[in-house]
Structures are given as C-alpha cells and as structure tokens.
Amino acid sequence: MVVTRFAPSPTGYLHIGGLRTALFSYLWAKKSGGEFVLRIEDTDKARNSQEATDAILKAFEWLGLEHDGEITYQSQRDEIYAKYIKQLLDEGKAYRCYMSKEELTTLRETQMANKERTKYNGKYRDFDGTPPEGVEPVIRIKAPLTGEILVKDGVKGDVSFQAQDILDDFVIARADGAPTYNFVVAIDDHLMGINEVIRGDDHLSNTPKQIVVYDALGWDLPKFYHVPMIHNSNGKKLSKRDGATDVMDYKEMGYTPAALLNFLVRLGWSHGDQEIFSMDEMIELFNPKDINKSASIYNTEKLDWLNAHYIKNTPNDELAELLSAYGLTLTSHDKKEILLDTLKERAKTLKEMSEMVKEILDTPSEYDAKAIKKAFKGEPIPILNAFGAKLTASEAHLPSEYHSLMEEVVAEMEIGFGKIGMPLRVALLGKMGGPGIDVVMAVIGREETMLRIANAISAIS
C-alpha cells in the first residue's frame, strides 16, 4: 500500500509550494488506494507556533484535502528518537563527540582559510580515552566518508552524491539531547510506514543524510520524488512579491478550492494538453512519474481563467453558499437564479462577483461624474419619466418584460435605444458598465427600480 505524507514545519502559513507537494502526495495515495498522512515537524520550539499549525489545518479544511489517521507531532516523540539514538550508540554506529564550540570554530576557520569544505574531522569517531571535562557531548552518526550515495529519484532519475563532497559524521542529537532534523525525518518516515516521499527539490541535499540514517538502522528506503520549484515569470523562485503565497489569501481573493487545486496540479505535472481536472480526474490520472523535471511557471492569468471556469460551472445554490464568505446572504433571495446566472458568466473571482452583486442590490448613493455627463446629456428626464409611467402600469417581472417596456418607450418617443439605456443604467447602478439593465431591473424589482429612477431625476434636476 502506498503511504505518502505531508510534513510541514509550522513556522508560518501554508504556502502555495507546500500545498502543491501536499496535493501531489494526496493524489498519489488516493489513486493507489493508500494513505496520506500528516506530520507536523514542530521540533524547533523557538520558531514553531500553534497558530501556524492551526493555519495549515484550516487551509486543508478549506480545500477539502483530508489526511488519514491521527496527525503526528514530532514534538511528542522525544522518547522514540532517544531510543534510536541509544540503539545506534550501543551498536557503535554513532558516538559521543566532546569537541568544544571553540575547537569546532577553530577547525572551521582553518578549513575555510585553506579553502576546504567545512566539515567535522572525526576526532571522536574512535575515541576510547577519558572525555574532557565540562563539555556536554553531541551525538554524531558514523557516516560513510568515501564512496557514492545514490538517490534514486522518481522525478530526477539517479542522482549521485560523493560522500567525501557532502558528508561528515553529522550530529544526530545536540548536547541537550534534542535530535536533529534529518535524523527525525528518517525515523518518522520509516515508523509511519511512509514508502513514497514527494517533496520539494530544495530537500534533495538532505536526502543523502537521511539515507545514512536509514542505512545505519537497516531500514529500506522509501521511494523519493523531488519536485522542482515553482518560478515566477522571470524564472526566479516564487516569492511574496509575486502575489499571494499564503494559501488562505487565495480564499480572500475569491478563488474556489476547485480552481486552486486544478491550477496547482498543473504546476509541474501534465496529462497531454488537458487543463481542466476535477478532483476525481486528478486522482485517476495523477502519477508522480509524470512530474516535470524543470521548474514550473506561476501564471496568474491561468488561475483566473480556471477560476472563471469553475464559477461558471458551479450550481447557483452552491455559489450562494460560497458567496456568503464575502458577506452576502443570497441563499434565500427570490431572484438568486437570474442574478447568479448572469454574473457567473462575467466574474473571474468570487470576490469580484460579490462586488458585482452588491453593485446591483445596493441603491446607488452617488453617481459617477463622467457617467452622468455622458448619460444624462440631452433630455433624459422626460424619457425616464415615460419609462417610470410604463413601469407603474405594468406587472413586469422578467428581464424580457422590462426590455419590452424600454422598447415601447423607444418606439413611442422615436428615440434611439441608447437614449433610454444609458440614463437608466446610471440611474440604476450609478455608473456605466455592468450587466444588462433588464436583468438588473428584474432582480431589484419594480419598486426599487422606480425609486432609483426618482433618485436620479432629483439628482440631476
């Protein structure tokens, strides 16, 4: 059974790159009928916070990405890590190193002066003398010092590292007993049964160290997939300046979970030239072997395009629910269908859509100066009055009925359609632009229409 994981360090919000690897891991587990588990890597007490963990969980909830089983918190697993440190010490695969901070600093400085790679020199590797006093030892693992460490990567192929270039006997537990990052990642991945690790390729350089831990404990390696980074349009690593990177900002900006997930799955993965993927399709088609070898490019227009697609295809009841997050109570509005049918064709985001709804439902409190100048030139008042009179006498309900009333005025007064359309639009919405005014009138109803016309007439008289 495939078991994948997402293992965030809760140092801040969930960012878009993290979410993408989480999605890939989720899809791959679901496709194989396996499990997707969550591990919070919260060992760095100074940098981790509960709020950050909560923010990650909130983002998962918003997106509907459910993890399997209980969440594992590294901060609760000290005893487990201590057990393996002891085992490695007992087996002679790790040792206590009494090198003082000063000595280590001098060693580093000498290496740097000699233009050598800075690394531990193995002083206590085979030490059996009396330890110096006053130094709390760290624990170092005996790493291979020569030879090749091969990462068989599902995305990048075989990546070969030379031990002498990258390894030394690295610390697995600090002087206060706290285990180190690469050590606990390997222990947890093994104990949690994780056999497929999908993560950002910024972690590739950690993998040889984790392999050293697996080897020392005699454990099989998981399959690794290191996913290339997401770049901005200038080919640089995506940063805050490129727009939102906090996943929850996307909610705020009005993106739907379906659009965001669809957008992310295509960042670095493809299936022919297909762009639209439902969750079921993603699960059916995703395979990490199809992850691109090169970085992917973040493209806001694509996200907007996908979002518009999903908005257009969301049933109105569901849309009304989604819009409630933007302060709208539309669920029981009697003209909800006409309103949403019209706006879902126009909006790129839910936020934009909510603003469009408000522009229609709220009586304008002011009129755009330019629009007034353009729309109210000539003699708009008699035309608006004539239309008002028609409305009073009619029972118009549907957009087409309002449209007929406008046509009647046009015919009777022998004017062009713009002569009624423009002033009416500004009277109703306070500005030019927006959806068809027959739709606007049908949504707000006859009384509100008459009120807005009266307001506009008194504003221009």
Interacting residue with ligand GLU among 8, 179, 268, 288 (CB under 6 A) = 8
Tokens 């140092």 belong to residue:
11
Q: Which amino acid is at 140?
A: R
CB nearer to ligand GLU: pick between 179 and 430: 179
Q: Which of residues 278-307 bind ligand GLU (CB under 6 A)?
A: none
Q: Got the DSSP string for 179-239? A: BPHHHHHHHHHHHTT--EEEEEGGGGGGHHHHHHHHHHHTPPPPEEEEEPPEE-TTSSBP-
CB of 7 to ligand GLU, least distance (A): 4
Residue 95 has phi, psi (to 5 degrees) of -150, 165
Residue 9 within binding range of ligand GLU, rule CB under 6 A: yes
Residue 22 within binding range of ligand GLU, rule CB under 6 A: no
Tokens of 267: 């960042």
Mark 55-94 with x for binding to ligand GLU (rule: CB under 6 A) and - for no binding: ----------------------------------------
Mark 398-437 with x for binding to ligand GLU (rule: CB under 6 A) and - for no binding: ----------------------------------------
Tokens of 54: 């909560």
CB nearer to ligand GLU: pick between 8 and 179: 8
Interacting residue with ligand GLU among 30, 77, 190, 199 (CB under 6 A) = 199
CB nearer to ligand GLU: pick between 8 and 423: 8
Q: Which amino acid is at 161?
A: F
CB nearer to ligand GLU: pick between 198 and 429: 198
Residue 42 within binding range of ligand GLU, rule CB under 6 A: no
Q: Which amino acid is at 69?
A: G
Q: Is 119 marked active-site?
A: no
What residues contact 187, with CB distance under 8 A and at least 6 apart?
Answer: 80, 81, 84, 179, 213, 217
CB of 184 to ligand GLU, least distance (A): 10
Interacting residue with ligand GLU among 185, 187, 340, 357 (CB under 6 A) = 185
CB of 164 to ligand GLU, least distance (A): 25
| Order of all β-strands in the sheet with 171-173 | 94-97, 138-141, 171-173
Q: CA–CA separation, 345 vs 359, rounded Å?
A: 16
What residues contact 273, with CB distance under 8 A and at least 6 apart?
Answer: none
Tell me which stretch binds ligand GLU (CB under 6 A): 1-9, 49-57, 159-167, 405-413.
1-9
Interacting residue with ligand GLU among 3, 16, 41, 430 (CB under 6 A) = 41
Apex 153 CA angle, 66 and 191, nearest 5: 50
CB of 19 to ligand GLU, least distance (A): 12
Contact between 66 and 283 (Cβ < 8 Å): no
Residue 203 within binding range of ligand GLU, rule CB under 6 A: yes
CB of 445 to ligand GLU, least distance (A): 54
Q: From the candidates 240, 289, 312, 344, which is the catalytic residue? A: 240
C-beta nearest to ligand GLU: residue: 199
Contact between 364 and 457 (Cβ < 8 Å): no
C-alpha dist (Å) from residue 173 to 5, 43, 163: 24, 12, 21
Contact between 196 and 169 (Cβ < 8 Å): no
272: left (phi over 0), alpha (psi -120 to 50) or beta: left
Q: CA–CA separation, 118 vs 156, rounded Å?
A: 28
CB of 9 to ligand GLU, least distance (A): 4
Tell me which stretch binds ligand GLU (CB under 6 A): 4-12, 48-56, 123-131, 372-380.
4-12
Q: CA–CA separation, 440 vs 10, rounded Å?
A: 47
Residue 7 within binding range of ligand GLU, rule CB under 6 A: yes
Residue 180 within binding range of ligand GLU, rule CB under 6 A: no
Q: Which amino acid is at 390?
A: K
Tell me which stretch binds ligand GLU (CB under 6 A): 5-13, 150-158, 424-432, 447-455.
5-13
CB of 142 to ligand GLU, least distance (A): 23
CB of 202 to ligand GLU, least distance (A): 7
Q: What number of chain residues touch ligand GLU (CB under 6 A)?
A: 7
Task: Enumerate binding residues for ligand GLU (CB under 6 A).
Answer: 7-9, 41, 185, 199, 203
Annotated active-site positions, please?
A: 240
